[in-house]
């Protein structure tokens, strides 16, 4: 009976952890509540803590539901947000960098150029030329 109680406890913990994840991560597939996390929230360990689950639990869940680790998903959200903010044309590069959690506009510009091959300003200009 002692073994049975011991095995029931981890199962209950897993169930509680899955509940915490389901509240935030499952709607990510539908594009809703996950996006309410702060834009600068790129620390996955902090996200796991906010969901009251361990990092490995969060990682396994994302891998099984979305087919990618949470860090990759977070990176995709950040890139999509950068594109949206640049396309809107209302914020400066410095403001976009701060909104996305970068320490400086130059750090954001380097990261953006690494992914897109052009600076954020050049990307914005190219987009506005295509829209004319």
Q: Enumerate residues 6+ apart whose C-beta is below 8 A from 95.
A: none
According to CATH, the topology of domain 70-132 is: Arc Repressor Mutant, subunit A (1.10.10)
Q: What is the pTM of this model?
A: 0.63
pLDDT tens digits, 109-120: 999 999 999 999
Question: pLDDT tens for residues 7-34?
Answer: 333 333 444 444 455 555 454 444 444 4
Encoding tokens for residue 95? 């403001």
What is the arithmetic mean of pLDDT over 64-82? Answer: 90
Euclidean distance between CA atoms 119 and 106, whole angstroms: 10
């Amino acid at each position: 009976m002692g073994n049975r109680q011991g095995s029931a406890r981890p199962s209950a913990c897993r169930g509680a952890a899955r509940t915490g994840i389901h509240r935030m991560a499952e709607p990510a597939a539908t594009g809703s509540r996950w996006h309410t996390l702060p834009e600068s929230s790129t620390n996955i360990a902090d996200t796991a803590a906010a969901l009251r689950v361990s990092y490995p639990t969060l990682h396994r869940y994302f891998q099984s539901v979305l087919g990618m680790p949470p860090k990759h998903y977070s990176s995709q959200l950040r890139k999509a947000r950068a594109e949206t903010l640049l396309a809107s044309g209302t914020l400066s590069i410095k403001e976009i960098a701060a909104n996305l959690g970068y320490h400086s506009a130059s750090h954001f510009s380097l990261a953006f150029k690494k992914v897109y091959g052009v600076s954020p300003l050049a990307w914005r200009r190219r987009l506005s030329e295509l829209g004319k």
